[in-house]
Structure 1
């Protein structure tokens, strides 16, 4: 895994991109690639790269050129099937000078153009510069596991793996986008390739972009699959279980390809336990595994972690996410996330990735994506229950169904009636709403927009949040079954834009750690899309097909345990007294007034409730985290950028190539790459 950055002149009369512009861009994202650095410069294009060496350790520095130096690539990610792709390219006459997947992708593009993306099984963000055509090609993997941002400023296009790299350039302005803030406080994230900052864009998952003669063209090469009933799986359930078993095993196999040791996260839930079991039983019986424990017992899953450790006999390491630790590292996490967040859950993952790196590993496999792909979340079952009520409005078993999902709600009579009213207070016709499954969640979250300042509220265009979502839905969305619609929304809005970023790439790469996600192999996603809904959720039994397919790998106590969403404490974290603490500073009147994002009086009333020992609701807890993280975003990126000092990569550690670069030997003792 690596970090990339680049500058393209959109006007030929402009001065060429310079080393002085590129070095700060790659230096500020050096955590993504601490092993090596390289730049390419010509009259139009500047490419920068920092490398985390995992495959092709020797000779894999970037940028890399093709045989005649007409194409140059910088690349962040992995093409897990590069071994299978390379022989075909060799047969077509391509010559290789490294053992890296990077060079395979470069020649694949040379051979097939943008259609090469359909052949790649991986997680990636890449840039390829065609020096002859003067054309830039940018692309991002199907699910958006790896990030890629861009902006146009002063007749230049700048792009990078992280937004902070764009902000090093003096021509790029830094301001929070009011509409984007509204989206975060509704959907937990921004929509449609936007970011929290004005004029900073993210290339959407499954898209590529070409830039030529000053014109930018963006196209999708993949979309989330959906199959009508007549096109679904025609085999039996046991045959589906066997096929899924083989598919996921192969997804794990190719994700173990590395020239460095590979470990695994082991949370104690079904998904990470399953991935760990497949590795330990089939590929590595002395696997290193890693987990988080919590100071707060209600969040801790150590019991199930210990069951799996004993079952698989892994070499295990564990770190404790204390309330104080979460508080101390929250600001660091926001700096890496580059967006407001509504939960503290990403912080323990940041601590976990630090534990892995302290144990000298660069790569881990994780279980993320299974809930979205195989129907594991309660929000899918909620929609099923509400749909049942719509068809049978006189049924008396509705509360019992809901009690199976949320037993804690029914322990508090005052909360029970309000919760039931909010849950069932929909007209039967509402079930045809494309956003039916997520409407309660988004309505609840959007209540926190009440804390916006007048100046933010005045900037909003008043478009209902529902319309924002509908704009991006496929034409046949209304014809899909309830679970398929809910899964699409969860993957398109939440998974790609929030989970894979704030709880995926960012907390891991902050500690120079690459995570690999077998459940998001596009073959697994496509296979799951072919399954009938009742094979995913059988009654209210989530991930039914997945559990049945791997009954021998995971013990019953873990496989059949109650679903426990991954969360971390909030109130206990931020409202313990601490002198001179950044939390008090960021939520104080001076900071709130300077940022201009939130209403001082409303925020003050909310905070006083907590400071007096009161307990907030789930929505209020999200408000606290959202307000604090948005304040930190303003402080770190708008008012005080760079929040952390940028330590420039020394000149003798940068491999420089291109007509406008003096080629030198890097400090690692390797000659510069081919010059055009």
Structure 2
């Protein structure tokens, strides 16, 4: 896990200033070392968090004759197997690290190497033989990779702050990227929140040759045709899932030269990964949990249950509303796009706990809900499908009453709201029927925007238009999973709550449920093996019924949430809240209508942030986070004109053209 950056120009000799400025901006991603390579067209920069072959993995790295160079962020978990294949084909290795495997895999297979990697990565390869630069990103988008063109020069980096750090790129919001954020929860690659900055989509690569770029794809989520999966006993498929997850955890836990910990939320997914570590590796288990002062959000009871069951060495951090408010400006700067919830802030504090305990790597349960259909949105879609097929009000009420038992305003307690929410857009021919209610609800945030940033919203239809050919033959669950894997997973779950909050504290996250073999197997399953009735992740519960306590297996799903508006007003208002939400600050930014912001803030102040509607909570968080993001981005651009302190420049180990 590291930070990567660099430049490409077809017209002039690159210098060191830009690459060192970008490396400095990414120093939190790689505090253990740094280096750069300069050729006549390209610079490659790297900041290192050393995990595999800590003594010999210095980057950028090259092959024997120095014609292929790579800067790499992430892990290739099957690097040992690939190394054996490449050795059989005549390649020789100087190190044990996975980075060198990438170099030789590129020599052997070119872009075909990406299909062979089982891992999480963002990388840049400079091939001096063809004068071609290639940027690539992993299948699910675990690792970020951004790029921009400035005066015919390509600049790329793991985070956008590195692009701002070299100047020439203004932090101007993209109306389309903002429309996507306030509809889908995040921009969808290649869009970002900022004009002129793009991101390499998951499962894709970007080639730059003679100043021209072309995008290629090597993977996308695929599902079988509806009704085409042969019936198989659940005992058989559950056993196969179990074996694949055991292998995935071993790959991520044992192939590391530093200690690896485990996140433990108290839910099913992290309980499975922690239990697998305890049962199928020779490692001691250190678990890390997030607690809340708010009883509504706390899951400490179930965390304690599992740590006692495992006998793990346990660490926890208890987060208050004011803790969230205090770190929120830093959280937004690391997230790098407007947030609609405060949930990333506690994750930032959790990764700080991991780092303070001396760990660089944690295994988490992220991805299970996407690949095994665990989210409420999948259950909602199934209920709404039943509604579309059966207009009987009593049948509809019975179906929806089983959802969200943990909510104060559950459908069973608010039947009028349930009828209005679930009864919209019941068009079974719509590929996005599952997601329309969420998207429509989130889109209410756009009423706060100024006229010049309000566009004719096409975010939902645009994402539907990108669905792969043949998706009309998938069942409804397959289409819903594709939408979730393409929008919320890479743009929010793995970014704002994952990579960014982990790497803010120099910690790498590993996700066994996003293993290539686990994902391929899960996507091949019949829908009823994932959701049986309204029992989500049914196959996962069957696969680990002997390993996870029954209290956790049978508990109603409670999604991870954190206090929103209450974080900024219940325990007193931090100074920065008044600063960024003042009429002058809002007017200067030009994103939101000052009158509407003033009314919203006054309402939150009167109620101390309590009892606000879901929409008002999201409105407030989106306003504060957007204002903070622009403030920090503008400061970064202003700082770009100043030279780096000499002592910081001298920290970088340099490597120039041989």
Aligned residue in 2 for 1:450: 447
2:401 partner SS: helix
Aligned residue in 2 for 1:522: 516
Aligned residue in 1 for 2:298: 300
CA distance in 1, matches of 2:302, 2:567: 25
Matched, 1:240 2:237: yes
Aligned residue in 1 for 2:648: 650
8 A contact 1:10–1:157 mirrored in 2: no
Q: How many correspondences in the alignment?
A: 653
Q: Give the CA deviation at 1:234.
A: 5.6
Q: Give the CA deviation at 1:312.
A: 0.4
Corresponding residue to 2:29 among 24, 27, 32: 32
TM-score (norm 1): 0.93
Corresponding residue to 1:593 among 587, 602, 605: 587
1:195-206 mapped onto 2 (5 Å cutoff): 195-206=192-203
Aligned residue in 2 for 1:339: 337
Q: Give the CA deviation at 1:473.
A: 1.0
1:225 partner SS: coil
Aligned residue in 2 for 1:3: 3
Corresponding residue to 2:114 among 108, 117, 132: 117
Q: Give the CA deviation at 1:608.
A: 1.5
Aligned residue in 1 for 2:256: 258
Corresponding residue to 1:504 among 498, 506, 509: 498
2:296 partner SS: helix
Aligned residue in 2 for 1:191: 188
- For residues 381-409 of structure 1, what are the alpha-carbon distances to aligned partners after superposition, in whole Å with 9 as ceiling and x for unaligned? 11111111111111513223222213466
Q: Which runs of 5+ in 1 are unaligned?
A: 660-674
CA distance in 1, matches of 2:646, 2:308: 46
8 A contact 2:322–2:571 mirrored in 1: no
Aligned residue in 1 for 2:629: 633
- For residues 473-502 of structure 1, what are the alpha-carbon distances to aligned partners after superposition, in whole Å with 9 as ceiling and x for unaligned? 112222221111111111111101111000
CA distance in 2, matches of 1:135, 1:112: 15
Q: Give the CA deviation at 1:231.
A: 5.5
CA distance in 2, matches of 1:502, 1:424: 28
- For residues 368-393 of structure 1, what are the alpha-carbon distances to aligned partners after superposition, in whole Å with 9 as ceiling and x for unaligned? 01011111111111111111111111
2:71 partner SS: strand
CA distance in 1, matches of 2:377, 2:632: 34
Aligned residue in 1 for 2:267: 269
Aligned residue in 2 for 1:557: 551
Q: Which moved more, 1:390-399 or 1:298-307?
A: 390-399
Corresponding residue to 1:615 among 611, 618, 634: 611
Q: Give the CA deviation at 1:572.
A: 1.7
Aligned residue in 1 for 2:489: 495
Q: Which moved more, 1:638-647 or 1:379-388?
A: 638-647
1:263 partner SS: strand
CA distance in 1, matches of 2:219, 2:79: 19
CA distance in 1, matches of 2:412, 2:98: 58
Q: Which runs of 5+ in 2 are unaligned?
A: none
Q: Give the CA deviation at 1:291.
A: 0.3
Change (3 A) 1:631 1:415: farther
Q: Which moved more, 1:390-399 or 1:297-306?
A: 390-399
Q: Give the CA deviation at 1:470.
A: 1.9
Aligned residue in 1 for 2:540: 546
Change (3 A) 1:72 1:578: same
CA distance in 2, matches of 1:311, 1:543: 22
Q: Give the CA deviation at 1:471.
A: 2.3
Matched, 1:317 2:315: yes
CA distance in 2, matches of 1:86, 1:412: 53
Q: Give the CA deviation at 1:191.
A: 1.9
Q: Give the CA deviation at 1:620.
A: 1.0
TM-score (norm 2): 0.96
Q: Give the CA deviation at 1:412.
A: 8.5
Change (3 A) 1:390 1:17: same
CA distance in 2, matches of 1:423, 1:610: 25
CA distance in 2, matches of 1:30, 1:640: 15
CA distance in 2, matches of 1:220, 1:319: 41
Matched, 1:474 2:468: yes
Aligned residue in 1 for 2:620: 624
8 A contact 2:161–2:636 mirrored in 1: no
1:5 partner SS: strand
- For residues 247-285 of structure 1, what are the alpha-carbon distances to aligned partners after superposition, in whole Å with 9 as ceiling and x for unaligned? 010000111110001110011100000000000111145
Q: Give the CA deviation at 1:455.
A: 2.6
Matched, 1:66 2:42: no
CA distance in 1, matches of 2:34, 2:507: 17
- For residues 333-369 of structure 1, what are the alpha-carbon distances to aligned partners after superposition, in whole Å with 9 as ceiling and x for unaligned? 1010100010111111100000000011100100001
Aligned residue in 1 for 2:402: 404
Change (3 A) 1:556 1:411: same
CA distance in 1, matches of 2:564, 2:646: 36
Q: CA RMSD in A?
A: 1.9
CA distance in 2, matches of 1:419, 1:163: 40
- For residues 534-567 of structure 1, what are the alpha-carbon distances to aligned partners after superposition, in whole Å with 9 as ceiling and x for unaligned? 1111101110011001111101001111100000
8 A contact 1:140–1:203 mirrored in 2: yes
